[in-house]
Amino acid sequence: MQRTEGHYRYYVLGILMLTYTFSIMDRQIVSILVEDLRAEFNLSDAQLGILSGLAFALFYATLGIPIARLADRANRVKIVSIAVAVWSVMTALCGAAGNFVHLFLARVGVGIGEAGGIPPSHSIITDYFDKSQRGMALSIYSMGTSVGGFLGLVIGGYVAQHYGWRAAFLVLGIPGIFLALLMWLTVKEPKRGTFDEKPKGSATSQQAKRLSFTEAAVELAKNAVLTRIVAGHILAIFVGYSLFGWLPALFMRKFELGQADVGLIVGLIISGGGIPGLILGGYVGDKMGSVDMRWRALIPMISLLAATPLLLFGMLANSVILASILFGCGVFLYKIHWGPHLALVQEVVAPELRAQAAAYAMFFANMLGLGVGPVIIGLMSDLARPQYGEDSLTVALMVALSAFVLGAIAYWRAIEPLTARVAKKPLPA
């Protein structure tokens, strides 16, 4: 009998959140090592952007789709367990790199492993939590981004400063192998579609099971709500991943701080702002979304618009303390959009298409946000360096902030098809 009630589901959620934490730790580690890697291999900012973004995202995003299709038919728990083991081993191997190409290939391996993490996890969570709790559950899962970012920066910065950058990769990679074994042995696969009926306008469960790969893609592409909120999320994480990837370098260059100090400061910014933002976004999204589903699109729109000026002023601040406070508040507002967004992605598709919906959303968001974002920032920084010197990175990040405004517009445009899809009470005045 599947145990979808009681405390066990929170244990499952905790294990999944922990896997996401390890994922972000292994993903984030490059950002605190950028100056070490630049000195070791004589790299440009564009090459560093490739290591922190494109090398990882290339297969992370593309393989996520076929793996998600498998997850919509096979045992999702085993898929995630294997994925954790793969990305952990590849992270450890980054410490053995002898040149840029070796490191690039190892980072590709990390991306291949992590491709099997998020979409199956989202699908598992929706079968352990009903609609009234799903936004909060997905927000708790997404806390892995903030916890993992904090631990990756703090542990990675400390180990790198005292024992070298190669040791940092080993310390963050090896423990994930044991987590993979724990998940394999203790987490049970839930019944698919436990709490759900067919969403209006989508394929029935039996139709969804019969859809081919191409038909499933077409079914999802025709979903106007899905495509517009995914567009908003792409633009949002273009800024988010660029900021998280380059913020340690920004603090080191602008304030001339050591790795351990920067790791602690930026880790506190990401976790201190991110965790409360995720919790608040999940809570408010569930409360207001249960009254009117349009709030699940309106909340992300408001959060992105509110975060923009705070992050802009943070980039201009000349004090470590002021910059940290502004960045922390900006991250808090940015992270509010995650819970409502993830819940809406899962709610507007059939249960048998959920992992694929998450994978398609992840593909475009990560290829254009995670993959291209840090590279574009690096290129802009290199181009601006002759005129702005060490401030070139600040200039590049300031330009990137305009994507938040475009993302907010995309979420606003999702309101019309969402209104037509689900009849709800009018929004309060």
Look up the domain containing 36 and give its range: 8-421
Per-residue pLDDT tens over the stretch 308-355: 999 999 999 999 999 999 999 999 999 999 889 988 887 888 777 776
Whether 2 maps to a domain, the answer reads: no
Number of domains the chain contains? 1
Question: pTM for this one?
Answer: 0.73
Whether 3 maps to a domain, the answer reads: no
Whether 376 maps to a domain, the answer reads: yes
Per-residue pLDDT tens over the stretch 9-29: 999 999 999 999 999 898 888
- Residue 422, amino acid: V
C-alpha span between 256 and 56 (Å, rounded): 28
Whether 375 maps to a domain, the answer reads: yes
Per-residue pLDDT tens over the stretch 258-313: 888 998 999 899 889 988 998 899 889 888 887 888 898 999 999 999 999 999 99
Whether 344 maps to a domain, the answer reads: yes
Exposure class string for 392-404: b at 16+ Cβ within 10 A, else e: bbbbbbeebbebb
Whether 1 maps to a domain, the answer reads: no
Whether 356 maps to a domain, the answer reads: yes
Report the CATH number at residue 298.
1.20.1250.20
Token pair 């992300």 is found at 300
Whether 250 maps to a domain, the answer reads: yes
Phi first, then psi: give them for residue 76, nearest 5 degrees: -70, -35
> Please, where are the H alpha helices in 222-353?
224-255, 259-291, 295-316, 320-335, 338-347
Q: Are 48 and 34 in contact (CB under 8 A)?
A: yes
Inter-CA distances, 371 with 247, 275, 341, Å: 17, 24, 20
Task: For residue 202, name the pLDDT band (cuts at 50, 70, 90).
Answer: very low
Q: Are 105 and 255 in contact (CB under 8 A)?
A: no
